Structure 1
Amino acid sequence: MSTRSRAVLLSAVAAVAGLTLSACGKGGTSGGGGDTHFVTGHDGIATVAEGERAAAPDLSGKTIDGKTLDVADYRGEIVVVNVWGSWCSPCREEAKYFAKVSKDYSGKGVQFVGINTRDTSTTPALAFEEDNGIGYPSLYDPTGRLMLRFKKGTLNPQLIPSTLILDKEGRVAARALEPLDDTTLLKMLKPVLAEK
């Protein structure tokens, strides 16, 4: 490949990367759906006011351990949905925090659910959960079809890792498109948990 061809290719890759980053970084325009009523704070957490939230799509299927799970069964509880892959370094970094907060909030009206994606088999996903002390279920979504169920213009999981907080009505209240520690995760969770 000539030097000119490499330069053109690198410029194209840089342009696509820039567009991707700018699309993910601006609140209110996710998916190009116009005014979506959500605001992204300086901490990277996008939130939606209680009266303007969109319902989460159907998030159901087989878990990585072969059971059946439907997130809608947790209506009446706050649901923390974490999209992850065993191959994802930032997912490994945040896993210990999710394990800790899920244990701390067990029995307090909060349910954690993972969505494992892009793992070609459940073997590495199961090993990931065991290594990180993850005690909550994870849907197995190797092709990302569950992520594609979110409508354009809503708070949707665009990156891996992504974290969503669903309110007691099953509506998306908050989203983060970056790895979280326990402090940031609780900053997302506590305001929704405090809602009447």
Structure 2
Amino acid sequence: MSTRSRAALLGAVAAAAALTLSACGSGGTSGGGGDTNFVTGNNGIDTVKKGERSQAPALSGRTIDGKTVDIADYKGKVVVLNVWGSWCGPCREEAKYFSKVSKAYAGKGVQFVGINTRDSSTTPALAFEKANGITYPSLYDPTGRLLLRFPKGTLNPQLIPSTLVLDRDGKPAARALQALDDTALLKMLKPVLAEK
């Protein structure tokens, strides 16, 4: 086996292991270790104070409908990132709430972006969005490469579904590692939106 083949195999094994750990679940624990500066509330939402946040990794690529999205283009807006898969039961449960809140906050300085992962093609992902009234873009990340860009010990998406709220500077301010209804989603979103 060539060195290049071994490197590709090791990369694939690492990605598969990370995705296995992020199997569709209904909750989780804060990851990392060391001084992460984030606090888990009793509602399962992790938050980081404004002055202690780190920059989100570069997140860009092709969407499930063939367009391109770069999260950096939304700087100045609060961004709600939702990691989902069409195969994920909790994702199906929360989708109607994300659709509702994204439409209610359109034009109010908030941009929703999905990250679709572990769907082997865009066909089920597109059907999922249509069935749930999702009108915001979703990056297509079948192997989880975008998710692996988040450093360990940060507000990183560890489960599917996961939701992150990025502040106007593109820094993760809040994270939930569980399915959310509209009330819980707004508890994450409103404090970040109110920041000056």
TM-score (norm 1): 0.86
Match of 1:112 in 2: 112
How many Å separate the matches in 2 of 1:42 and 1:187? Answer: 12
Match of 2:4 in 1: none
Residues 107-132 of structure 1 deviation map (CA, whole Å, 9 limit, x = unaligned)? 00000000000000000000000000
Q: Which has the larger radius of gyration?
A: 1
Aligned to 2:187, what secondary structure does the other structure show? Answer: helix
Match of 1:8 in 2: none
Match of 1:135 in 2: 135
How many Å separate the matches in 2 of 1:187 and 1:116? Answer: 23
How many Å separate the matches in 1 of 2:54 and 2:120? Answer: 31
Structure 1 gap segments, 5+ residues each: 1-16
Residues 142-166 of structure 1 deviation map (CA, whole Å, 9 limit, x = unaligned)? 0000000001110000000000000
After TM superposition, list the pairs within 5 Å mapping 1:31-110 onto structure 2: 31-32=32-33, 34-110=34-110
TM-score (norm 2): 0.86
How many Å separate the matches in 2 of 1:173 and 1:182? Answer: 18
CA RMSD of aligned residues (A): 1.4
How many Å separate the matches in 2 of 1:55 and 1:177? Answer: 19
Match of 2:166 in 1: 166
Q: Give percent identity, aligned residues only.
A: 77
Q: Per-residue deviation at 1:42? A: 0.3
How many Å separate the matches in 1 of 2:50 and 2:88? Answer: 32
Q: Per-residue deviation at 1:31? A: 2.1
Match of 1:13 in 2: none
Aligned to 2:32, what secondary structure does the other structure show? Answer: helix
Residues 40-89 of structure 1 deviation map (CA, whole Å, 9 limit, x = unaligned)? 00000000000000111011000000001100100000000000000000
How many Å separate the matches in 1 of 2:102 and 2:68? Answer: 20
Q: Per-residue deviation at 1:140? A: 0.1
Amino acid at match of 2:178: E
Match of 1:3 in 2: none
Amino acid at match of 1:172: P
Aligned to 2:61, what secondary structure does the other structure show? Answer: strand
How many Å separate the matches in 2 of 1:55 and 1:66? Answer: 27
Amino acid at match of 2:179: P
Runs of 4+ in 1 over 3 A off after TM superposition: none
- Between Structure 1 and Structure 2, how many residues are aligned? 172
Structure 2 gap segments, 5+ residues each: 1-20
